[in-house]
């Protein structure tokens, strides 16, 4: 086989390989773009839910503060009722 025929075979095989690698690269890029869009949607949902959870925690904290103040007032009232009897006896 002469060198010209060998070079033609080499370039033919190389051309086929380049086309195949290009097709595989395009398919991989397509799936990577699809995956990155899904990840973006998931992060947006997580961000929205984190904001909602933060608001719920703030509301819960305020509720606990209010309930705690009311419970403290009741406790002080009961403590004063029983405590005042002890001070009268002294």
Question: What does the alpha-carbon distance between residue 77 and residue 79 come to, in Å, rounded to a whole number?
Answer: 5
> pTM for the full model?
0.54
Check pLDDT > 90 for residue 34: yes
Q: Is 73 left (phi over 0), alpha (psi -120 to 50) or beta?
A: alpha
Q: pLDDT (tens digit, 9 = 90+) per residue, 49-88?
A: 999 999 999 998 888 888 888 888 888 888 888 875 544 4
Question: What does the alpha-carbon distance between residue 20 and residue 14 come to, in Å, rounded to a whole number?
Answer: 10
Backbone angles phi, psi at 2, to 5 degrees: -85, 170
The per-residue pLDDT for 43 is 96
30 token code pair? 């397509």
């Amino acid at each position: 086989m002469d060198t010209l025929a060998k070079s033609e075979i080499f370039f033919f095989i190389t051309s086929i390989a380049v086309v195949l690698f290009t097709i595989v690269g395009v398919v991989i890029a397509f799936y990577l773009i699809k995956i990155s869009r899904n990840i973006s949607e998931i992060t947006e949902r997580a961000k929205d839910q984190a904001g909602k959870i933060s608001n719920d925690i703030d509301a819960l904290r305020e509720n606990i503060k209010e309930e705690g103040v009311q419970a403290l007032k009741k406790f002080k009232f009961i403590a004063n009722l029983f405590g005042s009897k002890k001070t009268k006896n002294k």
